[in-house]
Structure 1
Amino acid sequence: MELSLAQLAELVGGSLDGPADRVVSGINGIQEAGHDELTFLANPKYAPALAGCRAGVVLVRPDQDVPPGLAVIRVDDPYLAFAKILTVATQKPYQPMGVHPRAEVAPSAQLGLDVSVHALAYVGENARIGDRSVIHPGVYVGEGARVGDDTVIHPNVTIGHGCLVGNRCIIHSGTVIGADGYGFVPTADGHFKIPQVGVVQIDDDVEIGAGNTIDRAALGRTWIQRGVKTDNMVHVAHNCVIGENTLLVAQVGVSGSTTVGKNVIMGGQTGVAGHLTIGDDVKIAAKSGVHGDLKPGEIVAGIPAIPHRMWLRNVAVGRRLADLFDRVKKLEKRLNALQAKDGVGS
């Protein structure tokens, strides 16, 4: 990466205060960046670090005060601008490698243009891999599965038979898409397994973290809609719908047949019961347990999940319980003394 400050400002649509012809060749943290590197200030907490900053240029908000002589590019969202520049700086031209001799591709599988299928990958009968998609070592693409264009499947991912993955998706290592949903009927002799004959459908521009498990539907589909991003170790059960642009943070678990709306955020280790409806734009704090439907726009926390403001009040009271207990004991002692003095209860 070698870009002038003028080029960087144009790239992110920012306003440059500094020498337009200065060139930077790297990106670093605000305390580590040198004179030939770019950095950014997104969190006001780190604003004092600007005083000693040696960076060639800093991405800041339009109203940020900066020391004299420090070159800055003023943008509405420094974090987004940083992400865009980092993307440009790290992108490499795609070089298709074709099918490795040690890969196994079924005769009836269809491979698009300029694909890369690495060693020890398996592509099953009637499966289809789209143009410019990359199948890394150890990936299993089952019979009749579909992978769209420009999608990257990282090592040791399983895509079960008949499952669908869209365009421009990223699926990280160790994820299993299309294992059987958890469906059993209790009987006198144990638990009778319900065949899981549906699929998983993952729409375009989805990123699935490492070690996810997304179960196939009993009937129909488990549906991950466009733009969803999941962190590592997330579980989505059979017949769930995860709405567009929703974020599921690490160790979230969503039970079967629950519908999650658009633009929802679930904090880490949140658990959601089955057969619920979570409305659009809901935010759920980490380690929450959701046992009922949530209306669009609700913000909840706790086990069971309650409105966030109420949860904050409860937490504040909880911290004072020991003091409140001591006060109550003292009041009881005083009350008993007064009652004894007045002869009450004798």
Structure 2
Amino acid sequence: MEFTLGQIAAILGGKVEGDPNQKVGRLDKIQEGKSGGISFLANEKYEPFLYETKATAVIVSEDFNPSKSFSTTLIRVKDAYLGFTQLLEAYAQFSKAAKEGVEEPAYMDPSSSMGIKGYRGAFSYIGKNCTLGENVKIHPHAFIGDRVRIGTNTIIHPGAKICDDSVIGANCEIHPGAVIGSDGFGFAPQSDGTYKAIPQIGNVILEDFVSIGANTTVDCATMGSTIIKKGAKIDNQVQIAHNVIIGENTVIASQAGISGSTEIGKNCIIAGKAGIVGHIKIADNTTVGANTGVSKTIKEPGQTLFGYMGFEMKNFLKSYSIFKNLEGLEKRIKELEKKG
């Protein structure tokens, strides 16, 4: 796909300094820019590359003042980094929206329906009584079980699995290998030491604008629903157990694990490898640091938790200043005991 610089400036609300009819069809790093590509300059450390780049155009901020001559065309926007991000988003949307129709072989049960401008990739499977909205993209080898509902503009990437009765909102994105609606981890101990599986008869609900990363699993509820609310973003390789509720606009980084029936508030940040036990609540705007374990309900909003088990960050740092000196403190205590 190619776009004129004038079209790009219109998308970004910017101004072209040069010929707006020049065309670009590629996004480049400024240090690797070549003719036909567009880049951006937001960090002053990269300014020297502006005077060397072969990129057709470079996005810069309105207040940028070059110190040397250059050969590229500038597109001035309010914020260069934000502008390039918007361009990436627009490019991705154009790329994803380009696919329509059905590739063979692909299967959709006759009882299911799909809205206009949809796409079904080769070897994709859609089960019984499913309803898919307009402009839904089902990529190759994706699996959609029975009685699934998917909202408009949602993308299911290759190899993703959407199990029976799942409900996925509009403008969601499910990345490769993700599993939505797998059985929750429910087993009842028996008197002979064995475990009996507890049927998991609930479902998963993803509200609008939710993103699920590659190889992430979201388990269905034992009863009722596991719910990920509007705007939440889940990274790759995250485990979300049965009956969990994730609040609006909460983000969860890779390898975090959320145990069953826990409720996480809105606008929270859960960093990588964090572990959260089951049947607790975490207040809105909470940040859970990397490798942090949370074992009890967090009632006060806005806290930053750190350490294992996690406690308030300032208290952790104070304690850590003692932890790292324990060896020396022990030696001093023994010396004092000898003197005593």
> 2:67 matched to 1:48?
no
CA distance in 2, matches of 1:117, 1:143: 16
Residue type at the aligned position of 1:159 = I
Moved more, 309-318 or 67-76: 67-76
Query: 1:297: which partner in 2?
Result: 302
Instruction: Summarize deviations over 1:246-301 as a string: whole Å, max 9, x none.
Output: 11111111111111111111111111111111122211111111112222211111
How far did residue 59 of structure 1 move? 4.4
Q: State whether residues 152 and 170 of structure 1, in contact with CA within 8 Å, keep that contact through their aligned partners in structure 2.
A: yes
Q: Equivalent residue for 2:261? A: 257
**Letter in structure 1 aligned against 2:29:** G
- What pairs with 1:52-63 in structure 2 (closer than 5 Å)? 52-53=49-50, 54-55=52-53, 58-59=58-59
Give 1:225-236 correspondences, 5 Å limit: 225-236=229-240
CA distance in 2, matches of 1:15, 1:307: 47
Residues 174, 212 of structure 1: 8 Å contact kept: yes
Identity over aligned pairs, percent? 33
In the alignment, is the contact (CA less than 8 A) between 1:241 and 1:257 conserved in 2?
yes
CA positional deviation for 1:102: 2.1
SS in 2 for 1:31: helix
Q: 1:186-227 deviations in whole A, cap 9, x for unaligned? A: 231322322211110111111111101111111110011111
Residue 30 and residue 163 in structure 1: after superposition, are their counterparts in 2 closer, same or farther (change >3 A)? same
The structure 2 residue matched to 1:176, chosen from 170, 174, 179, is: 179
Look up the equivalent residue of 1:239 and give its one-letter code. Answer: N
How far apart are residue 49 of structure 1 and its match? 2.7
C-alpha separation between the residues in 1 aligned to 2:76 and 2:317?
36
Q: Write out per-residue CA displacement over residues 91-125 of structure 1, whole angstroms, 9 at most, x where no aligned residue.
A: 23524123x44222222122222322222222111
- Specify the alignment match of 2:29 in structure 1: 29
Aligned ranges for residues 214-253 of structure 1 at < 5 Å? 214-253=218-257
Matches within 5 A, 1:105-254: 105-189=108-192, 190-254=194-258
Max Rg structure: 1
Q: Which of 79, 82, 85 is residue 80 of structure 1 equivalent to?
A: 82
3-state DSSP of counterpart to 2:48: helix
Match for 1:329: what amino acid?
Answer: K
Partner secondary structure for residue 32 of structure 2:
coil
Match of 1:312 among 312, 317, 320: 317
Q: CA deviation at 1:7?
A: 5.4
Amino acid at match of 1:310: N
Q: Distance in 1 between matches of 2:277 and 2:79?
A: 36
Q: Aligned residue pairs: how many?
A: 329
Provide closer, same or farther for how the CA distance between residues 314 and 81 of structure 1 changes in structure 2, counting only shifts above 3 A.
Answer: farther
Structure 1 residue 310: Cα displacement: 2.7
CA spacing shift, 1:301–1:23, aligned 2, 3 Å: farther
Tell me what 2:4 maps to: 3
Relative distance call for 1:121 and 1:274 in structure 2 (3 A) is same
Comparing 73-82 and 217-226, the one that deviates more? 73-82
Segments of 5+ residues of structure 1 without an aligned counterpart are none
Q: Which residue of 1 aligns with 2:105?
A: 102
State whether residues 111 and 131 of structure 1, in contact with CA within 8 Å, keep that contact through their aligned partners in structure 2.
yes
TM-score computed with the length of structure 1 as normaliser: 0.83
Q: Secondary structure at the match of 2:39?
A: strand
- Consecutive unaligned residues of structure 2, counting only runs of 5 or more, are none
Preserved contact between residue 50 and residue 67 of structure 1 (Cα < 8 Å): no
Letter in 1 for 2:83: A
Change (3 A) 1:125 1:31: same
The answer to whether the Cα contact below 8 Å between 1:201 and 1:224 also exists between their aligned partners in 2 is yes
| Aligned-pair Cα RMSD in Å | 2.9
* Change in CA separation of 1:220 and 1:77 when aligned onto 2, cut-off 3 Å: farther
> What does residue range 275-286 of structure 1 map to in structure 2 within 5 Å?
275-286=279-290
Question: How many Å separate the matches in 2 of 1:73 and 1:277?
Answer: 47
- Cα displacement (A) at 1:62: 6.1
1:39 alignment partner in structure 2: 39
For residues 157 and 172 of structure 1, the distance between their equivalents in structure 2, rounded to whole angstroms, comes to: 7
AA partner of residue 164 (structure 1): V
Q: Structure 1 residues 187 and 153 mapped into 2: Cα distance closer, same or farther (>3 Å)?
A: same
In structure 2, C-alpha distance between the alignment counterparts of 1:83 and 1:20, rounded to whole Å: 23
